[in-house]
Amino acid sequence: MPFTEALRRYVSRESPTGDPRSLAALAEVLEADAARAGFSTAREAHPTGDHLIWTLPARDVPGEPILLLSHYDTVWPVGTLAEMPWSIEGDVIRGPGVYDTKAGIVALLAAAERIAEQAHPEIRVIVVADEEIGSPTAGDLVRDEASRSRAVLGLEPPHPGGDLKTGRRGSTRARIEVTGIEAHAALDPDAGVNAIDELIDHLVRVRELVTGRPVLLNTGTIAGGGRTNVVAGAAHADLGLRFIDPADETAVLDALRALQPVRERASVSARLLSHRPTWRPGPAGDDLLARIRDIAAGIGQELDGRPADGAADTNTTGALGRPTVDGLAPAGGGAHARTEWVSSASIAARTDLLAALLVGLS
């Protein structure tokens, strides 16, 4: 099947995170295409969307499998296609999810078909349903598969220009929750404990905690209370945190877990909504990158790699010390933006590269 036709079919089935019906519709199409490419298919079921697990049996190459990580959820709600339609203009293909990261699935399946008669190790693929919100239900599955794999290849978009990704910032979504006591704000204010005031004090403390550290902190949402004449009885805030250094990650997350109330009769707690540990470059990843560069050179492609700011499921595998390289999806741009696009020529080039890696990394 031509690359563009397969991608058009995937993009036409919008698949926002957390929409199980839409995800299931695309999953059926992906599984049928994976089966045609030679994979056996299975699912790990979750209420918010199933994770897809594909296996291409080894052919004359024993030992540990190669693990590939991708996802089929996007940041775009159903209906985006009406405002951001599928289009092709020269080398540029546009549409919600083309770059992040449905084109990567297209390239993988085309590569698998190509190597069907060649010697290769077992190929395992996980296509995650909730990657765009930190893969809160996929972490255990990814860790388990990575622990028995010879190499992990991430099918996230590459750096601009096509270079690969050899490390990632740690990424955590955390929620601070405060419970106070409601009371009439004018007649009996001292009987109450204002949860919003308590929450603000903790947000200031967290800001002070990260000051001077190479940590990105974004207070993304705040909610609480209900009426101006009622002392707020509950409030919460969701934080986005990015880390470069695992030591800073540990210090900040430990401090969040240890939060204590400022006001008597208030209670405060913090919990992680999703967590991807810091993945720093190391010898295992460096060796894998060197092998990938050599294989790429053998088919006339020049590649390099460096760490990235964004997070993905390869954070988990890289932090475990497993040989991991990401950014193997086709080149393009505009991830999470209405300018999202992918290069048609790069889909073909990445298919060539993936086919060579699935055979050459044995």
Mean pLDDT of 196-214: 97
The string of pLDDT tens digits covering residues 170-192 is 999 999 999 999 999 999 999 99
Return the residue matching tokens 């030679």: 38
Average pLDDT, the chain: 97
Task: Provide mean pLDDT across the span 259-263.
Answer: 97
Class of domain 170-276: alpha beta
Determine the 3-state secondary structure of 156 from DSSP.
Answer: coil
d(CA 108, CA 105): 5
pLDDT at 1: 56
Q: What are phi and psi of 191, to 5 degrees?
A: -75, -15
pLDDT single digits (tens) 301-342: 999 999 999 999 999 999 999 999 999 999 999 999 999 999
- Local confidence band at 344 (pLDDT 50, 70, 90 cut-offs): very high
Q: Using the predicted structure, report yes or no on whether residue 220 has a pLDDT greater than 90.
A: yes
**Cβ(204)–Cβ(217) below 8 Å:** no
Domain ranges of the chain: 3-169+279-360, 170-276
Q: Average pLDDT for residues 64-74, to the nearest whole number?
A: 98
pLDDT in tens, 83-103: 999 999 999 999 999 999 999
Q: Is the pLDDT of residue 118 over 60?
A: yes
Query: Given this model, what pLDDT does residue 199 score?
Result: 98
Helix (H) or strand (E) run with residue 314 in it: helix 314-319
**Residue 98, amino acid:** V
Phi/psi of residue 140, each to 5°? -65, -40
Alpha carbon separation from 23 to 15, 120, 312 (Å, rounded): 5, 31, 19
Distances (CA, A) of 291 to 168, 295, 303: 20, 6, 11
Phi, psi of 172 (to 5 degrees): -135, 135
Mean pLDDT, to the nearest integer, of 29-37? 98
Q: How many CA atoms lie within 13 A of 244 on its CB side?
A: 8
| Mean pLDDT confidence for 10-23 | 98
Here the tokens at position 56 are 């291409």
Separation CA 151–CA 175 (nearest Å): 34
Q: Which residues pair with 40 in a beta bridge?
A: 55
| Architecture of domain 3-169+279-360 in this structure | 3-Layer(aba) Sandwich (3.40)
Q: What is the rounded average pLDDT of the residues 208-234?
A: 97
pLDDT band at 362 (very low <50, low <70, confident <90, very high): confident
* Positive or negative torsion for Cα 303, 92, 332, 5: negative
Supply the pTM of this predicted model: 0.92
State mean pLDDT over 255-284: 96
Q: b/e string for 88-117 if b means 16 or more Cβ within 10 A?
A: eeeeebbbbbbbbbbbbbbbbbbbbebbee
Helix (H) or strand (E) holding 289: helix 283-298
Note the pLDDT of residue 219: 97
The pLDDT of 278-286, averaged and rounded, is 96
